[in-house]
Chains A and B, each alone.
Chain A
Amino acid sequence: MKNLKALAYKLREDVIDMIVEGKAGHIGGDMSVMEILTELYFDQMNIGPDNMEAPDRDRFILSKGHSVEAYYAVLAEKGFLDIKDVIARFSRFGSRYIGHPNNKLPGIEMNSGSLGHGLPVCVGMALAARTDGRNYRVYTVMGDGELAEGSVWEGAMAAGHYGLDNLCAVVDRNRLQISGNTEDVMGQEDLRERFRSFRWHVIDVADGNDIDQLKAAFEEAKRIKGRPTVLIANTVKGKGSPVMENKADWHHRVPSHEELKQIRKDLEERKEEALRD
């Protein structure tokens, strides 16, 4: 599917199937992060089943590892996994499709799940690229609630200190975490100023669920020299259906039968709408 806007909705349908079959999953963050992952995997990064051993492949870490269902859907679409197998076995006893990314699966570089690890590991990857004179880029996606972890800022400090312009971080800024609004739980603002003070180039993506805006931001990041870039992608948690959108209690939840019917209908409509664009 070349239409990435439509693809993001098709992948959301896969996520719903996974969560319903596995009876578990972090649905809200899966929905908010989908365009970010779609743009990265199908437009930006040189990653695929054919080059995962290549030293020059781009590197990616899903630091907000609980959005693994969205990641599985993308990896399957990319050819790393069999989506039918994932849907049938996700979260089941003995399954290799764990509720967080695991690098025993093809396509996954590093294990994640505990928040605040992705960015510091990416700093190491970006330093390795620089040391070896290689041109690959390093990407990570973090949640906004995740930014309360101190290790994020250790990584941010080092990336700024070393001027790692081959590193691009994305904050999935959906403004909700498990206990409620991020600004009530632990305030993040002004996020742009925070990253700038750590010597980062900051791009504010007004609609982080808009493929075109994300594409423009990633292209800008590639042109920035001498400092790392962060995309603050303003997304909608639960994006895809009003049943879930902007509701903190959909952080992790399995839809009821009625909710499921409505969610599937909404996703199908938005996919069709995207296909008409």
Chain B
Amino acid sequence: MTKTANKQVICKVLLDAGKKDENVMALCSDSRGSASFTEFARELPGQFIETGIAEQNLVSICAGLANCGKKPYAVSPACFLSTRSYEQCKIDVAYSDTNVKLIGISGGVSYGALGMSHHSAQDIAAMAAVPNMRVYLPSDRLQTECLMKALLRDEKPAYIRVGRNAVEDVYEEGCVPFEMDKATVVAPGTDIAIIACGEMVKPAADAAILLRGKGISAAVLDMYCIKPLDKEGIIKTAEHAKAVVTVEEHAPFGGLGSMVSQVISENCPKRVRNLSLPDAPVITGTSGEVFDYYGLNAENIAKVAEELLKDE
């Protein structure tokens, strides 16, 4: 099983693109090492800008570059990029409609034991609330590559969150179903629908396998496109299921669970259980330990799904 960190794929795609298009630029806030962008900075020094530890400046500089025809990618830890520079993202990027792509690396609880200052468990809610800001949480290296190539072709703002750690593949090399702004059906199913994003897609897919062993048919939807939210995809997957489970590496309010619940309650009402991080500073540990503690793993997703079905 291949394990690659999604941020490494982002650097590779942008480096390839940057070699062909001098307008593609990467900017880091003393984060080139943690972002895996050292190679970009070394190979394309004329297209790389260091802003130092100044995330507000990072985002505003990107907006200025974009105004002048550049295609800047701000690559910085998601915790700082999404909240320290939130106003710059809102005004200089989204409101002014500049072609800036915000790459939040080491998102969610990637930094595990470093504490709440380094966790980005609010970024989906924060970014999705801004008009004209798109929000993407790709699940594995293959989907990340498809997404980045699609983003290189458009000229609109976007926030992309990826984790720090190497993640297992969800898809198969050479066979990656991907349509921009359409959720990907990872597994079809009729009893229960599991809707997940980012690094939670893999445990959701594994949960479906566990459930299948118990005779339960679980659909799994990879909602990498949080905004614009693929409402049709949600309805199509959920309308015939008896219940829905959402899974996200995010605080319980305003994220994937909230957004999916809005769609289901209006279009095909049924029970929806949101699995997420708590509304509290998370327990100290590696991200894997944190996920296990809060039940963000295949076993618990399957257990919750089973319980929901028993209630029906």
Contacts and interface: CB of A to CB of B under 8 A. Distances in A.
A117 B60 contact: yes
B69 A123 contact: no
Nearest to A57: B68
A151 B87 CA distance: 11
A256 interface: no
A124 B69 contact: no
Contacts of A123: 57, 60-61, 64
A122 to B, nearest CB: 6
A155 B60 contact: yes
Given A120-B57, A157-B54, A158-B57, A111 B64 contact: no
Interface stretch (B44-52, B279-287, B293-301, B303-311): B44-52
A153 to B, nearest CB: 9
B70 interface: yes
Interface string A202-228: 000000000000000000000000000
Contacts of A114: 87, 91
A157 B97 contact: no
B153 to A, nearest CB: 21
B68 A59 contact: yes
B67 A109 contact: yes
Q: Of B49, B68, B72, B96, which is in contact with the most chain A CB atoms at under 10 Å from its CB?
A: B68
A127 B65 contact: yes
Nearest to A155: B57
A110 B92 contact: yes
Given A117-B92, A127-B49, A151 B67 contact: no
Nearest to B51: A158
B52 A55 contact: no
Nearest to B64: A124
Interface string A117-132: 1001111111111011
Contacts of A110: 63-64, 67, 92, 96, 98
A128 B98 CA distance: 14
A120 B95 contact: no
Contacts of A121: 60-61, 63-64, 67, 92
A265 to B, nearest CB: 40
B142 to A, nearest CB: 32
Contacts of B61: 120-121, 123-124, 127, 158
A131 B70 contact: yes
Contact of A59 (B51, B52, B67, B97): B67
A41 B157 CA distance: 30
A22 interface: no
B38 interface: no
A156 to B, nearest CB: 10
B201 interface: no
A125 B65 contact: yes
A154 interface: yes
Contacts of B54: 154, 157-158
Interface in B22-46: 25, 46
A55 B63 CA distance: 16
**Interface range, B side:** 20 to 34
A113 interface: yes
Contacts of A111: 91-92, 95-96
Given A113-B91, A117-B88, A120-B61, A125 B56 contact: no
B11 interface: no
A158 B67 contact: no
Given A55-B69, A109-B67, A120 B91 contact: no
Given A117-B91, A158-B52, A151 B64 contact: no
Nearest to B57: A154
B196 interface: no
Given A111-B91, A111-B95, A120 B68 contact: no
Contact of A125 (B49, B57, B67): B67
A16 B59 CA distance: 36
Contacts of A59: 67-68
A129 B63 CA distance: 14
Q: Of A55, A126, A151, which is in contact with the most chain B CB atoms at under 10 Å from its CB?
A: A151
A135 to B, nearest CB: 13
A128 B57 contact: no
Given A155-B60, A158-B52, A124 B96 contact: no
10 contacts: A55-B68, A113-B91, A114-B91, A120-B92, A125-B67, A128-B68, A131-B25, A131-B46, A132-B68, A161-B52
Interface of A: 55, 59, 103, 109-114, 117, 120-129, 131-132, 150-151, 154-155, 157-158, 161
Given A120-B92, A157-B52, 11 more contacts: A113-B91, A114-B87, A120-B57, A121-B60, A121-B61, A123-B60, A124-B60, A128-B65, A151-B56, A151-B88, A154-B56
- Closest 9 A-B residue pairs measured CB to CB? A124-B64, A120-B60, A128-B68, A154-B57, A124-B61, A125-B64, A121-B64, A154-B54, A124-B65
